[in-house]
Structure 1
Amino acid sequence: MILIVDDRPENLISLSKVLQAHNFEVDTASSGEEALKKVLKNNYVLIILDVQMPEMDGFEVAEAISGFSKAKDTAIIFLSAVNTELKFITKGYLSGGLDYITKPVDINVLLLKIKTFYRIYDQSRKLNEVQEKLLEEIEFRKQAEHKKDEFISIASHELKTPLTSVKGYIQLLQRSINKDDKVTAQNHLNKASIQLEKLNDLIVDLLDISKIESGKLKFNMQSFCADNMVNNAIEMLQQNFPDFKITKLGKTEEMVFGDEIRLEQVVINFITNAIKYAPGTNQVNVTINIKDGKLYLAVKDFGIGIDTEQQQKIFEKFYRVEESSNRFNGLGIGLYICSEIIKRHGGTIGVNSVLNEGSEFYFIIPITEENMIAIEN
């Protein structure tokens, strides 16, 4: 929009009509004070400013406008019928004007100048947009680099912890063997096996995320019994965590099309997290049902919970809940891998949680190949 500032109504009317006839949007002000008020409220591409005005002349108006951050990209053209000497033209440029035109005005020349300023404004706007996008990209890459460095540090620590434990238990095992203490030796062997299993789980997660990044995570899609898959996962984890009561709610005999091993991986991750992040409790509920051609599975715990803001990020790569990262081990990639597995099944994954009351992680997937393909398309 163009703002025309002139204390003579006839000048405002005539110039406005000409510009509007050439499809320019026009606003007017009959004094410097009125112009400043409008500049504070509105955005203008160009201000055509008369020099000779009572109380506040065009130079003073331009100097005041130059101090407004809102109008820093606004071009100013001075118009003058009286002050045509070089010193006034120089003053106009020093006051912040980009051009100084003397009256009588050649309207064709003025229109060309206005069109040029509009092009410059449009190019400047596009350049600013590109610059902002570049800055956003740079910020994203700095954050990504920081996350990667943080992940490498965490991964190194997490891998080193069970490895150090295994070394320690092997040394104790050797001493027990030398003393012919079979009971103690068996105990050390069992503990070493647990740490080796932790190490194996970490390595599997690292391999999975590497395959996801390279697009090489393979899926063996076929029909299977979801109920049996969940029962197997619960049975295995119940043996590993005998102090926890893992209760299955619901049952289904329908077959599901998908990768049974990968989906079991998701269920196991949900249940182990439910146990891990619920210290002081002993109950986990696993719900399964099929409705409207979709499998619904949820794992509910009664632990520390997750606040609303963190729930939006929990499935992001390398994300770890800040309040929990110092208390609980983990690489921050398990739920990300789960989300990628569910996406490959054309499903959705989510969490419902109340801080200090518990969390319920769930996924929903179509049970037939036809529905899965329809969703992907």
Structure 2
Amino acid sequence: MILIVDDRQENIYSLQKILELNHFEVDSATSGEDALKKILKNTYELIILDVQMPGMDGFEVAEAIKGYSRSKDVPIIFLSAVNIEKKFIAKGYTSGGIDYIAKPFDPDILLLKVKTFCRLQQQTNELNAIHKTLREEIEFRKQAESDLSQSVDELRSILESIPQIAFTANAGGAIEFINQHWYQYSRGKEVLPKTAPGEVSVADCIREAIASGNAFVSEISIRALDQQQYRFHTLTMTPIRKNGQIVKWVGMFTDIHEQKMANQLLEQRVTERTVQLQNMNNELEATNHELQQFAYVASHDLKEPLRKIHFFSDLIKTRHLKENPDAIADMDKIIRSSERMRSLIMDILDYSKVSVPDTFEPANINGIINDILADMEMLITEKQAVIEVQNIPQLDVNPAQIRQVFQNILSNAIKFSRPHVPPLITVEACLVADKTADSPPCENGRYCRIEIADNGIGFNEKYLDKIFVIFQRLNSKEEYEGTGIGLAIVKKIVDTHKGIITASSTEGAGSRFVIVLPVHQNDHHLS
């Protein structure tokens, strides 16, 4: 951009038009003071300066311009119609001008000079920029060399202070520096520590690290000069890069002999303990199988005398006690006790049969629940129960065991209803990401959370830990029938399906059971 400084607007206008027609960007000022303000803000390639101006004349303005560091190299052309004597021309050059043109001037000559001076100024600016870049590059290289030298000194100081054997090598693997610990295993950097017979040598490890171009770790055994025993060490080789190229390697031998010996001893003990645990597990499986067989046989054998007790008690009641109300009442107690004993035996049988299924299969959970509701139709009608079941995704389960889960929970929800309040039971489900009761819904979750809520009598949550324990009852058997095994069976089945179950409740306001089951039992990501 060219700055025209003249106190007469018509002079500025005519000169500005000539320059703009020749594709020059032009700025103008009508006084020396105005010109100096603009020079402080803008960068100009050439200044055309009128000599005769009120206030500061052109010579004073030029001297001021040359006093500014940012404008001292800008070429100045003086224009004058009055001061054209030799002494004024000389003063113009001594003030910092590079040319002195008398008015009137030849526009073509002026344009040639303007183009020449602008081109020279652009080249000067480019050269200055190149010089600046070169100076910065030189300073940068000097600083980099200083930093590198300092870094090498610091690295060597650090390597001397550590308890490990340490060394540095150049990009080709030649040893450059060794710390004092090196001399315990070798007499100098020309000789590498000796490895145990049959092991890879240190030289081979260094070559392998250089070939890979990456950090290298190897376990080797080396021997100190004053000892006969080879000790386990880890050799680490770390590359140091500059501008993407490896310029140095830092190597380190770390003594791990005691750790290695301890690990070997620990591995031996773990192996021995594993064998013991496997034997104990086999014995436990055999014992569990025997217990299951015993429970099944014992329960099965107990049912036969109970049937006789129930049958003959009922027979005695109907044939021989018709005229004795007290005896009938006592016999009813015997019959009810035998019924409770029969229910208890059946539940124990069911509990003993629950084990990890041999196979799981995709099952329609809604279909299983619909079958249960069909079987419970009379009880549902009697209690005027309303059961709302949402759509549940297909899950990998053992259908028979899962049927028992829902049957026990739904029958409990109907059984433990409030007097004169029709049971309202809801079954809802959604996919979740985690096996937790409060995991948020997730469209592609690996688990399914099923919530079964009712409006029954509820329970005090301080007994939450007890409701899933076998033989635990929160209500008397006179008020509500049951053996206290149903929810224990539910818990055991859910556990065998790699799921969880929990509950929440408010006394007199109903209960809420939450079951979380895997969608696919063969999912390796299951926690």
TM-score (norm 1): 0.46
Higher-RCO chain (CA-CA 8 Å, sequence separation at least 6): 1
Q: Which has the larger Rg?
A: 2
Normalised by the length of structure 2, the TM-score is 0.34
